[in-house]
Amino acid sequence: MKTIKGRVWKYGDDVNTDVIFPGKYTYTVSDPAEMAQYALEDLDPSFAGNVQPGDIIVAGKNWGNGSSREQAVVCLTESGVGAIIAKSFARIYGRNCINNALPAITNAEAVDAIEHGEIIEIDMNAGEIRCAAGTFHFPPYPADVMAIIDAGGLVAYTRQKLAEQAA
Amino acid sequence: MPQTFAEKILAKKAGLASVQPGQIVEVTPDTALSHDNAAPIYGIFKKMGGKKIYDPDMIAIVLDHAAPAPSTKHAENHRIIREFVREQGVTHFYDVGRGICHQVLVEEGLSLPGELVLGSDSHTPHAGVMGAFAAGIGRSEMASIWALGKLWLRVPESLKIVVHGQLAPGVTAKDLALTVIGDLGNDGALYMSVEWYGEAIAAMSLESRAVLPNLMAEMGAKNSYIPSDQVVLDYLEGRAKRTFEPVYPDAGASYARELNYDAGRIEPVIAAPHRVDNVRPLSAFAGVHVDEAYLGTCSNGRLEDLAAAASVLKGRKVAPGTRLIVTPASSQVYLEALKAGYIQTFVEAGAMVESPGCGACMGNHMGVPAVGDVVISTANRNFRGRMGTRDSEIYLGSPYVVAAAAVAGEIVHPKDL
């Protein structure tokens, strides 16, 4: 996997899915590209208009708690977000990240050290976060999980498997 | 080595002798549950190159999130699902009006002891009330299950909660669950399997017990399990859709954490805006004006909950300036509440009774608050914006507390009415 480099959007603890992607849009907005314009609407209204491809979200504990809605990940991938670093991820949210090939990295020390707005770099192969405060390490995903990310997400992964079965 | 419930059932389902927490296993669910999101899931399934679903008997679809449809867009969503169900021959389909998926799964005998339930809804752990392993997953994951019949799961660490003694009258499973969430925090069981034991649990009705695994989603749990006892087996008599084999944890299994609660010390509590773990005694909020009281949802919309509310509302009126909205969790609950006279009590008190489903809980329709409104609800989630507008406040409590607030127009202890 690649290296991700971008500007940091830093948020606090316990950011839930209702503020990442409000529930009222879950059955009215179905175009993934359109989801980006509602990303973090109830958390940070400045985000959707200013986020750049490759930007990285850095957050406290339990990012993405609440609903299982996958739009709360898709609205970010569609915004161009390259990765999320958090102190911890809500379980389903973490799974949804993997399934949409969005690296979700858990590293509390890095979160404390990284400043809002700075440019940081994540090397997925080396398992390194490089920021102004120094270099932080994270363990790689298990092989079964990495296979999904490497395939480009669960959709692509399943398509490969179905093709193998048909062959 | 003795195994916890999660370890034992995931090893069994993966065809392994034993598993360790942290291990990744590949498993085939007995029931794969989705709701109104089956339409987007079908879209993902097609994007995956899926043609025929792996097993039409495995899939359960319950239309509940916007039921009946409040807009053409929602109706269109339902139409796509009905078409999918016909095309693919999905066996277990419940159209709008049947109720909330988690309640319907239990009533229809599709969540059984020793079974594995995966659902594209965060409150899927609810099904653990029947002794199943039940966890929430995302939409792509559900689409992948439709295509391949299996999914990866990480074996969770386990948390054991033992509740000694008995709850006092007027104190409910909701108060117990919220107390635990308040103590442990909204990530207190992150990634974990939560097992419930003790005399208080054994003495509870199934309806009360269901509140516990349902609410554990709000503590970050992957699943939550109550050992299936005679009460469960009796309920499933003539109801279970399949034969089943219960799974029980081994004595001496290793738990990441064990907690003991004295049920007698639990008191009525409230989860205040905007967090489910912002839990304090009911008395701390006495006098808070309430614009809307909401009785329903998968956490507390069952017959017992309606009975509790009716016992408070009987012969009383909803306060002027306050609305009471009742949304039964299922058509079966609705019918039983009709027969028992609770619906009449609600309407006589001035309440609105809506058709079974998720209703206003996640802001779709049938009773969403206005900007600035204060809501007291029996739901399981009070996040900012949850019911539609970020500028409302949602307090969570038991059916007794919600009904009492409707009568008083403010938060009050039911005994002080």
Write the pLDDT tens digit of every residue in A4-15: 999 999 999 999
**How far apart (Å, rounded) are the C-alpha atoms in residues B361 and B342?**
21
Element (H, E) at B242: none
Element (H, E) at B416: none
Q: Where are the beta strands (DSSP E) in B112-210?
A: 116-119, 133-136, 151-154, 158-164, 193-197
Tokens of B128: 């653990």
Selected residues 152-181 of chain B with any CB under 8 Å from a CB in chain A = 152
Q: State the CB neighbour count (10 A cutoff) for residue B415.
A: 9
**How far apart (Å, rounded) are the C-alpha atoms in residues B146 and B163?**
39
- For chain B, helix, strand, coil in percent to 5 are 35, 20, 45
For Cα atoms A151, A7, B384, give the angle at the middle one, nearest 5 degrees.
85
Domain ranges for chain B: 5-15+22-239+256-261, 269-416
For residue B24, list chain A residues with Cβ-Cβ distance below 8 A: 142, 144-145
Q: Which residue has the tokens 């916890």?
A: B4
- From B349's Cα to the closest Cα of chain A, the distance in A is 30
How large is the angle between the packed helices A91-99 and B139-148, nearest 10 degrees?
A: 60
Q: Report the residue count for chain B.
A: 417
> Who wins on pLDDT, A163 or A26?
A163
Contact assignment for B137 to A68 by CB distance below 8 Å: yes
Tokens of B307: 């009975």
Residue B57 contacts residue B191 (beta carbons within 8 Å): no
Q: Quick one: B269-416 is in which CATH superfamily? A: Aconitase, domain 3 (3.30.499.10)
Q: A144 — contact with chain B (CB < 8 Å)?
A: yes
Q: Which amino acid is at B339?
A: K
Tokens of B37: 């999101």
- From A103's Cα to the closest Cα of chain B, the distance in A is 16
Just give the CATH number of B5-15+22-239+256-261. 3.30.499.10
Of A30, A92, A153, the CB nearest to B137: A92
Best of B144, B146, B298, B358 to mutate (most A CBs within 10 Å, chain A): B144
Q: How many CB pairs under 8 A join A and B?
A: 128
Residue B54 contacts residue B149 (beta carbons within 8 Å): yes
**pLDDT tens, residue order, chain B (417 aa):** 999 999 999 999 999 999 988 888 999 999 999 999 999 999 999 999 999 999 999 999 999 999 999 999 999 999 999 999 999 999 999 999 999 999 999 999 999 999 999 999 999 999 999 999 999 998 999 999 999 999 999 899 999 999 999 999 999 999 999 999 999 999 999 999 999 999 999 999 999 999 999 999 999 999 999 999 999 999 999 999 999 999 999 999 999 999 999 999 999 999 999 999 999 999 999 999 999 999 999 999 999 999 999 999 999 999 999 999 999 999 999 999 999 999 999 999 999 999 999 999 999 999 999 999 999 999 999 999 999 999 999 999 999 999 999 999 999 999 999
Q: Where are the beta strands (DSSP E) in chain A?
A: 3-10, 56-59, 83-86, 104-106, 119-123, 128-131, 134-137
For residue A157, list chain B residues with Cβ-Cβ distance below 8 A: 144
Of B187, B34, B33, the residue nearest B111 (C-alpha): B33
- Verify cis geometry, omega within 30 degrees of 0, for the bond prior to B369: no
Residues whose CB is less than 8 angstroms from the CB of residue B74 and which lie 6 or more positions away in sequence, other chains included: A27, B36, B66, B364
As to burial, measured by CB atoms within 10 angstroms (0-12 exposed, 13-18 middle, 19+ buried), residue B339 is exposed
The β-bridge partners of B386 are none
Q: Could you give all domains of chain A from N- to C-terminal order, each with its CATH number? A: 3-166 (3.20.19.10)
Residue A86 contacts residue A60 (beta carbons within 8 Å): yes
Best of B152, B191, B298 to mutate (most A CBs within 10 Å, chain A): B152
**How far apart (Å, rounded) are the C-alpha atoms in residues A61 and A15?**
8
Radius of gyration over every alpha carbon of chain B, rounded to an integer in angstroms: 21
Contact assignment for B388 to A24 by CB distance below 8 Å: yes
In the three-class reduction of DSSP (H, G, I as helix; E, B as strand; rest coil), residue B385 is classed as coil
- What is the structure's pLDDT at A1? 59
**How far apart (Å, rounded) are the C-alpha atoms in residues B276 and B211?**
14
- From A99's Cα to the closest Cα of chain B, the distance in A is 7
Q: A88 — contact with chain B (CB < 8 Å)?
A: yes
- Report ipTM for this prediction: 0.84
Q: A92 — contact with chain B (CB < 8 Å)?
A: yes
Q: How far is CA B214 from CA B189, B370, B403, in A?
A: 13, 27, 21
- Verify cis geometry, omega within 30 degrees of 0, for the bond prior to B274: yes
Radius of gyration over every alpha carbon of chain A, rounded to an integer in angstroms: 16
Of B318, B354, B309, the residue nearest B334 (C-alpha): B354
Kind of pairing, strands B269-271 and B279-281? antiparallel
What does the DSSP 8-state code read for residue B165? S
Tokens of B40: 């987007």
- What is the structure's pLDDT at A91? 87
What does the DSSP 8-state code read for residue B5? H
Q: A47: number of CA atoms within 13 Å, CB side?
A: 28
Q: State the CB neighbour count (10 A cutoff) for residue B351.
A: 23
For residue A32, list chain B residues with Cβ-Cβ distance below 8 A: none
For residue B138, list chain A residues with Cβ-Cβ distance below 8 A: 68, 70, 73, 92, 95-96, 99
